[in-house]
Structure 1
Amino acid sequence: MHTLNAAMFLEDAAQRAGDKPFLLTGQQPVTFGQVEENARRAARMFTDLGIQPGERIAFLLGNSPTFMACYFGALKMGAVPVPLNPQSPGPEVAYYLTDSHAGAFVAAEPFLEAAQAGFQAAGTCQHFLFDNLPGSTACPPAAQRLAPLLSAASSDFTTAVTQPQDVAVVLYTSGTTGRPKGAMLSHANLHFFTELLARDQWELGPSDVILMTASASHIFGQTILLVACATTAALSLVGRIDIATLAANIQRDRVTYFAGVPMLANLLLHSPQVAAFDLSSLRKVMFGGATISSEVMAQFKARFQVEVITGYGMTEAVPLTFANAALMRSAPPGSVGKPVWGTSLRIVDETDADMPPGSAGEIIVRGPQVFSGYQNRPEANAEALRGGWFHTGDAGYLDANGYLFIVDRLREMVKVSGFSVFPAEVERVLQAHPAVAEVAVIGLQRKNLDERLKAFVVLKPGAEAGARELIAYCEAQLAEYKCPRLIEFRASLPKSPTGKIDKKSLAE
């Protein structure tokens, strides 16, 4: 087998464009060459601490130059980065450290309280490094300051030999069906999806500036980071996700591209704050991570005069299907495209028998981007990867021409009067109502009765609509059993750290 290490993306970028700005933070840009040098120092630092190839190194750093240096440094010396969501509280941090068997933990000052509590509760991590601590702030017990270690380390480091199927990174899934699971992605997985997205799907180049809307602890953030290196595009780093900050970054850095969840489309379309900013540099956006209605896509394209593309993937396998700008012109409305190169996709019933075109079932896939399994989860792996196919847990269907349509998560399915209802179908109808900005539909279990549907609705600024009007709107387009019987109006809907609507908290 040939040597393959995902750190090569940064190394190659530094060789080709070492003086080119890479990280845009609103201060002095950080070049590809500077990040590469700092990554070599981080690799030497981790090695001098005694970290071994294959060992896990957890990061609670946010999207920052320090994260980039430590992430690529860990890859260089053959260790496995485990990026943690910056919003994780102490108990979650402790769980991640314990479950991943992390040998080292690197955290930054904004997350001091959660990092310290998690490290102490886990009690399994040998090394604890802290970044950006003011001189007057005491270092947490058992921790060391990162900056002196990093600056003292030599930048003379040769990237370790790793094989294509070696684990490159562990990313934790959202855990909506239990405790989060660590998905193990190989160097080959990362190389496949990075090259495919950069070249064929996102069609980016050195002149592009990419808005990094997602945390690098999420698969969206990973793809954005690696694609930027592969194309030597600049990254505009976002400190926090609010509409004014996003718009300000787009204006300041002349952002040309971003990939994000559909929530961002709604925010940019309906927030009055957007009018204060110049977003004319945008030329292309990609929405994924949740379903987006064809109406919203059309509105976004018309409002901002950009190409809008969509796709389907997940932490365990990204991308699975895609509709780039050329494909979008022939794709039927609502489709997420066709399977990407090298990927096989089937729609099956509960016995894994194939379903005919137009019939919904579980989406199962296999291809070079499919992960090797969940860390420490042999039973979950046996179930998810049975028969050599990854069972996504998503419901969808293929049309006669092979275009995929996402219906919903299988676990979201609601039984009403004996019929199966997918909330996403109802959400798409309500989302098309001219007064509706955002909507989430859930099933409510009733004692000794089947479920009924409830919709949580956020109206557009200045718009008016009543519950009866929205229910009647659904009844004109859906079978009666698919229509919500309860409507609750809210000023906003709760979101997960990745920007998806948090239905679990709505149900609770």
Structure 2
Amino acid sequence: MHTYWPEGMPTSLHYPDLPVCGLLTAAARLYGDRVAVVDGDLRLSFAEVRDLAVAFAHGLRGTGVRDGDVVLLHLSNSAWFLIGYYGTLLAGATVSPANPLQPAPGLHAQLLDTGAVAAVSHPAHLTPLTEARTGSRLRTVVVVPPSACAPSAVPPSAAPGVIALADLLTGHTDVPPHTAVTGDDVAQILYTGGTTGVSKGVRVLHRNVVANVTQMTAWRAAHLITEEGGGDLRLRPLPGPRDPGMRPGAGVTVLQSPLFHVHALINTIFLLLCGTTVVLSGRFSPERMLASIEEHRATYLLGSPTMWQALLAGPGVGEHDLSSVRVISSGGAPIDKATLTSLEAAFPAAAVGEGYGLTEGTCLVTSTPLLHGARRKLGSVGLPLFDTTVEIRPLTGGSAALGPNEVGELWVRGPQVTAGYLNRPEAGAEQFVAGWLRTGDLGYVDEDGFVFLSGRAKEMLIYKGYNVYPRELEDILHGHPGLRAAAVIGRAHAPVGQEPVAFVVPRPGADVDPEEVMAYVAARVLPYKKIRAMHIVDSLPLSAAGKILKSRLSALPAADDRG
């Protein structure tokens, strides 16, 4: 057991043997008429979400969808995303979420790779999907109605093979269709972010999702999932005095992160199992989010570092009552220490922490203990979850684990490690080795078991034979009072190998002097780590999940270049 392992917390859990849709069935039974989803004026109870998902499942089966078929979920955040997700699983099919803003060529590639036979889309995004379906197996498209979170001025489509959601839901029993799906079947195919290369479809099994949600429930809500007579799931609080900050059946979250990304999707499944009301928001606006937190008395927030930075940069933080927030969880990308510290100041009643995960690990691998009073370490992504092992291995190869505080590559083993890549056996053989997942991330584990990240292996640069980790420099840059955001990449320079180059976004109204910023960094690092050039830019290119797309940085126009 780790020195810092929360007192009274078990180190191993029982994982229910059931498909993911069983978690929705349990939530509907446990919370019934409690509001599960808010999308503007549309409010659905847990029982209503379950009933609509069952009707959706029967509708899909009526179109010919069968066990193991793939359904493309081509939607932005709305109540209908969750109905489509759970309904597809209840139909025995596999879900493959897609970014609704993806151009037709990317959608076409995903349709061909997955062999999707049906899709769920929205009037505003139907045109690129119609273009993308040519030559694919796609035969049915279900179109959901506009909502407050996902409005549209586009009229309904009457194209062949397009079905309105209302027609799909009509005239079905409330008993789920019979399927032969087990925990070893594929629940979802999610595509990696592709920030450093081509996106790959990750085969996530039902048991992977159930295991990760079980881990989250115990770690963040201090409740164990137990199975009563007849297989009914219950949540049982862990014994002993503890304040998890999140109370099942009483929480509220305001969700801004895209549900088509693994971070928001798996966290939302966990939150719904814990009876949390999910308030969905449309396009991100710091002021709108702060107002929603105050209006709905949100207790649990999750988001990416770029979202937190935008929220803190505006003037509205001090103008709203944020005292209801008890937990803030950051994920999707590494967060800097300065932003974490600012979050703690802005939300004084909240336990603030971050986690580390990746699509190949279902979602979450390590997490800061979010129980109030639990010990944390600033800059760490926390401890490995229950039944999860993180080893640091040398980049030069070999399976021998490095010692405490030695930087190497993170390898992960646990019940959330997925079943590899779709149609890419060679790539899978490189990343999934004898039950271990080779993450491609660099970091170290300290003497107490806390995990610290140094960046991606592909991003590490070598200057005159020395390893330089961009994340260390980015953390320092984020501490500069004149900067809102920053990213560091390596630039080839023959005499030295590679040299660190920074791209920075000033805070509104700040007059940033590149020479002063580079001197600020130089005063805090060894000489070989100094930034050799700096570009001032208006914004950094981001993925839908808020990750910085470093492959695009070198193409950005620079206002300043010093070095």
TM tier relative to shorter chain: over 0.9
What amino acid sits opposite 1:209 in the alignment? V
1:264 corresponds to 2:307: yes
**Aligned counterparts of 1:63 and 1:240: Cα–Cα separation in 2:** 9
Higher-RCO chain (CA-CA 8 Å, sequence separation at least 6): 2
Q: Does the 8 A contact of 1:44 with 1:153 survive in 2?
A: yes
Matched, 1:310 2:323: no
- Contact map agreement 1:7 1:72 (CA 8 A) in 2: yes
Aligned counterparts, 1:430-449, within 5 A? 430-446=477-493
Tell me the residue number matched to 2:98.
84
Q: Tell me how far apart the structure 2 counterparts of residues 164 and 172 of structure 1 sit (CA, whole Å).
A: 21
- Counterpart check, 1:151 vs 2:170: yes
Partner deviation per Cα, 1:272-311 (whole Å, 9 max, x = no partner): 2444443332221011222222332122111221210221
In structure 2, C-alpha distance between the alignment counterparts of 1:49 and 1:276, rounded to whole Å: 51
Q: CA separation in 2, counterparts of 1:50 and 1:109?
A: 23
Look up the match of 2:5.
Answer: none
* 1:332-347 to 2 correspondences below 5 Å: 332-347=377-392
CA contact (8 A) 1:496 1:502 kept: yes
Q: Does 1:211 align with 2:254?
A: yes
| 1:439 and 1:458 in contact (8 A); partners too | yes
- State the 1:447 CA deviation: 6.3
Give the gaps of 5 or more residues in structure 2: 1-14, 147-152, 222-243, 556-563
Instruction: Spell out, residue by residue over 1:387-431, the C-alpha distance to the aligned partner (whole angstroms, 9 max, x if none).
Output: 331000000111122211100000111122222211111111111
Counterpart among 462, 465, 475 of residue 512 in structure 2: 465
Indicate the larger mover: 225-234 or 288-297.
Answer: 288-297
Hey, what does 2:340 align to over in structure 1? 297
Contact 1:208 1:256 in 2 (8 A): yes
Matched residue SS, 2:364: strand
Secondary structure of the structure 1 residue equivalent to 2:357: strand
Inter-partner Cα distance in structure 2 for 1:289 and 1:299: 19
| Shift of residue 365, structure 1, vs aligned partner | 0.9
> What SS does the aligned partner of 1:201 have?
helix
| Alignment deviations for residues 305-338 of structure 1 (CA, whole Å, 9 cap, x no partner) | 1210221111111321111234885333211112
How far the C-alpha of 1:84 sits from its partner, in A, is: 0.9
Counterpart secondary structure, 1:501? coil
The residue aligned with 2:11 is none
Deviates more, 1:142-151 or 1:189-198: 142-151
Superimposed CA distance per residue, residues 323-379 of structure 1 (whole angstroms, 9 cap, x where no aligned partner)? 123488533321111211101111001313322221111100111111011111111
Given the alignment, which residue of 5, 10, 13 partners 2:27? 13
How far the C-alpha of 1:485 sits from its partner, in A, is: 1.4
Contact 1:212/1:224 (8 A) holds in 2: no
1:37 maps to 2:51:
yes
Alignment of 1:11-410 (within 5 A): 11-120=25-134, 122-132=135-145, 136-158=155-177, 160-202=179-221, 203=244, 204=246, 205-305=248-348, 306-317=350-361, 318-326=363-371, 329-349=374-394, 350-352=396-398, 353-410=400-457
State the Cα distance separating 1:132 from its structure 2 match. 2.4
Question: Alpha carbons of 1:25 and 1:457: their partners in 2 closer, same or farther (altered >3 Å)?
Answer: same
- Secondary structure in 2 matching 1:309: strand
Distance 1:415 1:176 in 2: 20
8 Å CA contact 2:254–2:298 kept in 1: the answer is yes
1:80-99 deviation per Cα after TM superposition (whole angstroms, max 9, x unaligned):
11111222121111111111
State the distance in 2 between where 1:300 and 1:442 align: 26
TM-score w.r.t. the length of structure 1 is 0.94
Could you tell me how far 1:436 is from its partner in structure 2? 2.0
1:454 aligns with 2:497: no
Deviation larger for 39-48 or 480-489? 480-489
Residues 4, 161 of structure 1: 8 Å contact kept: no
Identity of matched residues, %: 32
Task: Report the Cα distance in structure 2 between the residues aligned to 1:159 and 1:209, rounded to whole angstroms.
Answer: 33
- Pair 1:154–1:325, CA change in 2 (3 A): closer
Higher normalized helix content (fraction of residues): 1
Does 2:531 correspond to 1:484?
yes
Paired residue secondary structure (2:328): strand
For the 8 Å contact 1:130–1:144, the answer to whether it is kept is yes
**Distance in 1 between the 2:373 and 2:475 partners?**
19
Q: TM-score, normalised by structure 2?
A: 0.85
Q: Which secondary structure does the structure 2 equivalent of 1:29 belong to?
A: strand
SS at match of 1:451: strand
Residue identity in the other structure for 2:446: D
1:24/1:253 contact within 8 Å kept: no
| Distance in 1 between residues matched to 2:30 and 2:374, nearest whole Å | 34
1:190 Cα offset (Å): 0.9
Whole-Å separation in 1 of the counterparts to 2:16 and 2:322: 44
Cα distance in 2 for residues equivalent to 1:303 and 1:13: 32
Cα distance 1:415–1:32, how it changes in 2: closer, same or farther (>3 A)?
same
Cα drift, residue 242 of structure 1: 2.7
* Structure 2: distance between partners of 1:251 and 1:27: 17
- Conserved? CA contact 1:210–1:224, under 8 Å: no
| Aligned counterparts of 1:450 and 1:135: Cα–Cα separation in 2 | 53
Stretches of structure 1 that go unaligned for 5 or more consecutive residues are: none
Query: Structure 2 vs 1, CA of residues 273 and 492 (structure 1 numbering), >3 Å: closer, same or farther?
Result: farther
Q: Secondary structure at the match of 1:374?
A: coil
- SS state at 2:386 partner: coil
